[in-house]
Structure 1
Amino acid sequence: MKRVFGIKKEKEPPPSVQDASDRINKRGETVDEKIKRLDAELSKYKEQIKRTRPGPAQEAVKARAMRVLKQKRMYEGQRDMLYNQTFNLDQVSFAAEGIKDAQQTMTAMKAANKELKGMMKTVKIEDIDSMQDEMMDLMDVSSEIQESLGRSYNVPDDIDEDDLMGGMLKLFSYVMELWNGC
């Protein structure tokens, strides 16, 4: 069968956007070089036209300069077309990268969503509410304990500050007498 119909040839993979862009850029560079070469030739012809007298010799130099100028314009048109193609390829490449980024973002968001759903199964609102209630009860008990510990013993509530200071001075003088008596 292979002899009658032949073997199917393996297709080469299509060029990537980057390959196509590189190839067009190379062509653009060669066209730029040609334009530079034609510019140099045109400047020579301009000098020749300035140096020669009007007449058939000057007309011949002008004709050559016009031919070179037409070539230059043709190459400039090709260069502009190549640069437009490169621009279009860059836009396609940018769009493709944007889509790849969007795909990665979607994959990451799906994974995060799945993880959050798994975590939410273990957390129940009722558990949180009961824990909050227990914490409030514990805080109330803690406040009662602090109040209980902060009570003063055998100190009446209606003591005047001046009376307290007077009593302190008497106590101090008594301690000083004892000290001096030793």
Structure 2
Amino acid sequence: MNRLFGSRNAAPKATLNDAMNSIDDRVSSLDVKISKLNSELTTYQQKLSKMRDGAAKNTVKARALKLLRQRKQLESQKDQLMSQSWNISQAQMTTENLKNTMITVDALKTSNKELKKTYGKINIDKLESLQDEMLDLIDQSNELQDALGRSYDVPDDISESELDAELEALGDEMELEDELGADALPSYLTDTGVDDKLPTFIDEDKEEEKKETVAAQ
């Protein structure tokens, strides 16, 4: 059967790297040949500079021309190979860019799937309800703080005239204390309008006895 239809070639296909390596090997081989021809041409050039015109000189010149044609052919082949190498290099760069692009696209697809799974598990209504409950708790906390910090027996409104009068009274008391000295007692602790004698107290029992004696008489 293989003889009739032929056998399938199982050899792996060449890659861009294989082609590039093959071209590099050929270019290196051509460089060696061109270098050898240049060396021979230099030798012929030295000979021709020392020879006189004649048949021998023409023979050497003909050989030099032949080597020069070979060198030009090799250089032309080298230029073609270098162009191929450049094209392959561009193809490799394009391939690498495409691979990187595909990797990026695959990564984005995977990331989008994960994001959809993650956000799909979140209930927006429940989240808003939690936020409302949190705001209510904050309001309740603020009310408690206001209640605990409330002051008692403090007038809500004090007029400017009351404030001025209070400040003036405080100023007068400070001036009075300065005049009397630091050891002086305030006016409300002293009683200058009453004698220093001790007060006399009435004995209720004796009064009753007097009343009874007068009545008996």
Q: TM-score, normalised by structure 1?
A: 0.71
Give percent identity, aligned residues only: 36
- CA change 1:7–1:138 in 2 (3 A) is same
> Which structure exhibits the higher relative contact order, with contacts defined as CA atoms closer than 8 Å and separated by 6 or more residues?
1
Give the greater-gyration-radius structure (CA): 2
> How large is the RMSD of aligned CA atoms in angstroms?
3.4
Q: Which residue of 1 aligns with 2:39?
A: 40
Counterpart of 1:33 in structure 2: which amino acid? Answer: V
Change (3 A) 1:79 1:3: closer
How many residues align? The count is 166
1:15 counterpart residue number: 14
Unaligned segments of structure 2, at least 5 residues:
175-181, 184-217
Letter in 2 for 1:98: N
Shift of 1:127: 2.4
Corresponding position of 1:74: 73
Work out the CA distance in 1 between the residues paired with 2:5 and 2:124.
71
Supply the distance in 2 between the matched residues of 1:152 and 1:41 (Cα, whole angstroms).
115
| Partner in structure 1 of residue 24 of structure 2 | 25
Which residue identity is paired with 2:31?
Answer: D
Q: Give the secondary structure class of the aligned counterpart of 1:15.
A: coil
Indicate the larger mover: 10-19 or 110-119.
10-19
1:121 to 1:47, Cα distance in 2 relative to 1, 3 A = same
Secondary structure of 1:11's match?
coil
Distance apart, 1:27 and its partner CA: 0.8
Structure 1 residue aligned with 2:108: 109
Higher helix share: 1
Aligned-partner Cα distance in 1 for 2:98–2:23: 24
Q: What amino acid sits opposite 1:70 in the alignment?
A: R
Structure 1 runs not aligned, ≥5 long = 168-172, 175-182
